[in-house]
Amino acid sequence: MCNDSSTTWDLAISKDSKTCFGSRTNGSISIWDIHNQKLVRDFKAHDNKASCLDISSDGTKLWTGGWDRTVKSWDLRNGHQVVGKHSLSSAAWSLSCSPEDNWLAIGKDSSDAEVFHPTKEDKYQ
């Protein structure tokens, strides 16, 4: 389903099971229509490899992490990045948002894990 040589590292399927999201080694996020097996959109999300992603429980937000040491969120209703990004001390390898969408857990290449609240200054390592 991909037309370039970049690798897909992480995948997530939408709550309605119609769309698949993939983080790519070229820094992009690919969005596929599962039923039609077609690429719907491909956009540059990170300056380096996009290594991980997760979808909010309400299906309106996509979280992405990358080797550029950032975590970003994207509004899936309009396709734009939500204002702001979270900077990390090392590259993001994995991430998961909580069922209530009020916490995000990130596994980093420094063997650390970070848990933070996207709208507050609360952060745990």
Residue 106 DSSP SS3: strand
User: For 89, what's the count of Cα atoms within 13 Å in the CB-facing half-sphere?
Assistant: 8
List, for residues 9-58, the tens digit of each pLDDT value.
999 999 899 999 999 999 999 999 999 999 999 999 999 999 999 999 88
List, for residues 52-100, the tens digit of each pLDDT value.
999 998 899 999 999 999 999 999 999 899 877 889 999 999 999 998 8
Query: At residue 121, what is the residue type?
Result: E
Report DSSP state, residue 121: S
If you write DSSP's letter for every residue of 21-67 in order, what string do you get? EEEETTSEEEEEETTTTEEEEEEE--SS-EEEEEE-TTSSEEEEEET
Is residue 108 pLDDT above 90, yes or no?
yes
Identify the pLDDT of residue 118: 78
Identify the pLDDT of residue 40: 94
